[in-house]
Amino acid sequence: MTTFSDLGLSQKVLSAVTDAGYSIPTPIQAGAIPPALQRRDILGIAQTGTGKTASFVLPMLTLLEKGRARARMPRTLILEPTRELAAQVAENFEKYGKNHKLNIALLIGGVSFDEQDRKLERGADVLICTPGRLLDHCERGKLLMTGVEILVIDEADRMLDMGFIPDIERIAKLIPFTRQTLFFSATMPPEIQKLADRFLQNPERVEVSVRSSTATTVTQRLVATHSKDYEKRAVLRDLIQSQEELKNAIIFCNRKLDVADLFRSLSRHGFSVGALHGDMDQSSRTKMLASFKDGQIQLLVASDVAARGLDIPDVSHVFNFDVPIHAEDYVHRIGRTGRAGRSGAAFTLVSKRDTKFADAIEKLIDKKIEWLNGDLSALPAPVESHDSGKPERGGRDGKRGGRRDDARRDRTPRPVAGHKSDIKTDDIPTDLEPVTAKAEPVKSERKAETKPQNAGRHSNRPAPQPYPANDDNRDRRNRYRRDQDDGPTPVGFGDDIPAFMLIAGKA
């Protein structure tokens, strides 16, 4: 069996790997490290969780032992699609590079330029960046890329999803052609293959089987729901509260706006909850993640992009508030639980409009997922109206929110000013302001009978604040699209049209 010492790594690196407690390289490490040390280009097809980060960090550390950095001329460059991934790679350099004296600079959005400038001035051996922020630095004329010997493009398929490929092409043009390129992607759609063909010269292709199956230790269930967000939120609350084994959970939404809504709703209901959201500045995100990792908050609402690649070893539950549109995202999401042979549970809320996405997931993982309490045909009729007086399945979010969701999702013609509207003024949401302080539990009509034994609620804990003002607004004004290393920005209001704009004036 191959061991780390067979791979050609330096003594300093080997000793740090031993201290990290690793003895056997993972397949991507065994396949990529030896050719990387020979200065070959690598095409690595592997996703997070396979040990892919160390497969480029360890050979880079070994190669960097010769030579030193000059001011404003980084020696190596790693491109990551999100701030979190970039920060995690930096942590890996600290862990495996503890016997080296290397300067590592992390250039990500949401952090002040000045601090980053100072690091560049000192000379960076390793530059870890999101593409937009790197280009911003280059345009400020403070960075010379001609000394870059190794370029790493990580999570290339995610870069494609996020619209970063033109930025990457621009960056690649700034770096000498003679560089070594290490290119990683979880999947190889044709666009990524084309990009790899352009960027790589005679690469060593290392493919570790793409996991299109989910761990057998994870219990997966579909949960039937109606499609309105307030109905889904009620179903989710019931589900969380019924989980006796729930230690902690990540709740996935498809869009960052829904992350914000769900976070607010769960806070109001007294759950111990945080959110990973694209509009949070970096230090808030790091704090949020740390609070989740050390158990100060129990539930984390996140989007795929914000949560991508996060190394959170021990999550007992995953809830898909939305069925992922891309079936592979289901595999990524579910991969957050049941790690290292532990047991885990994953629940996916499915409404009628989601069935085609649920079918695609079952096709991808090649197995039927059982329904928790009967399929969609067993669902009671939806609640017709906010004020019909009929009891709602699973309760509602206090008095607020229901109509707002209806209005947002409804694709039928909007009421026009001057015409009669069926939306009543008392349906106007009053909760449009952001949550800024500790969330108080609301009194829900179902509270008495659904009080959880152990799951979800810790209302006496201080709620972290996931939506502080971004301290980087100056930069964002000019660099709005670029500095978003969190996903596409909606145009105008996107789907999130405030409800008051949809209400007709009095006839």
Helix (H, G, I), strand (E, B) or coil at 70: strand
Binding of ligand AMP at residue 97 (CB under 6 A)? no
Provide φ and ψ at 66, rounded to 5°: -95, 130
Q: Which is nearer to ligand AMP, 305 or 423 (CB)?
A: 305
7, 157, 259 from 398: Cα distances, Å: 60, 41, 19
Q: Is 34 in the site for ligand AMP (CB under 6 A)?
A: no
Cα 245 → chain centroid = 25
Retrieve residue 462's tokens. Answer: 């201080």
Cα separation, 156 vs 248, in Å, equals 30
| Least distance CB 175 / ligand AMP (angstroms) | 24
| Element (DSSP H or E) covering residue 319 | strand 317-320
Select the span of 43-51, 118-126, 247-255, 400-408 touching ligand AMP (CB under 6 A).
Answer: 43-51
Query: Between residues 51 and 394, which has the closer beta carbon with respect to ligand AMP?
Result: 51
CB of 54 to ligand AMP, least distance (A): 5
158 is an interface residue for ligand AMP by CB under 6 A? no
Applying CB under 6 A, the span of 17-25, 169-177, 185-193, 405-413 interacting with ligand AMP comes to 17-25
Q: Can you tell me which of 53, 181, 185, 248 binds ligand AMP, judged by CB under 6 A?
A: 53
Q: Is 113 in contact with 475 (CB distance < 8 Å)?
A: yes
Distance (Å, rounded) from C-alpha 348 to C-alpha 239?
10
Taking the alpha carbons of 147, 150, 153, 154 in that order, is the dihedral positive or negative?
negative
Single out the residue of 7, 31, 42, 48 in contact with ligand AMP (rule: CB under 6 A).
48
Token pair for 264 = 């607010």
- DSSP one-letter code for 428: S
By the rule CB under 6 A, 282 interacts with ligand AMP: no
d(CA 258, CA 277) in angstroms, rounded, equals 10
CA separation for the pair 261, 245 (Å, rounded): 26
Sole window of 18-26, 272-280, 452-460, 499-507 interacting with ligand AMP (rule: CB under 6 A): 18-26
Q: Does 210 interact with ligand AMP (rule: CB under 6 A)?
A: no
Q: Restricting to residues 303-322, name those near ligand AMP by CB under 6 A.
A: 311
For residues 316 and 343, give the distance between their C-alpha atoms in angstroms, rounded to a whole number: 7
| DSSP run (H or E) holding 86 | helix 83-96
Q: Is 233 in the site for ligand AMP (CB under 6 A)?
A: no
Minimum distance between the CB of residue 497 and ligand AMP, rounded to whole angstroms? Answer: 38
> Least separation, in Å, of the C-beta of 48 and ligand AMP?
4
In this chain, which stretch among 42-50, 237-245, 365-373, 440-448 interacts with ligand AMP, using CB under 6 A?
Answer: 42-50
AA identity, residue 268 = R
Q: Rule CB under 6 A: say whether 59 interacts with ligand AMP.
A: no
Cβ at position 218, least distance to ligand AMP in Å: 17
239 and 319 in contact (C-beta within 8 Å)? Answer: yes
77 vs 70: CA distance, rounded Å? 14
Degrees, nearest 5: CA angle 300-460-229: 40
Residue 49 or 441: which CB sits closer to ligand AMP?
49
* 63, 306, 450 from 147: Cα distances, Å: 15, 32, 62
Q: How far is the CB of 63 from ligand AMP (least distance, A)?
A: 19
Applying CB under 6 A, the span of 32-40, 45-53, 125-133, 466-474 interacting with ligand AMP comes to 45-53
Using CB under 6 A, pick the residue from 36, 41, 50, 392 that binds ligand AMP: 50
Scanning 21-29, 210-218, 255-263, 358-366 for contacts with ligand AMP by CB under 6 A, the matching segment is: 21-29
Instruction: Candidates 2, 15, 26, 450: give the one binding ligand AMP (CB under 6 A).
Output: 26
Q: How many residues bind ligand AMP (CB under 6 A)?
A: 13
Q: Which residues bind ligand AMP (CB under 6 A)?
A: 22, 24-26, 29, 48-54, 311
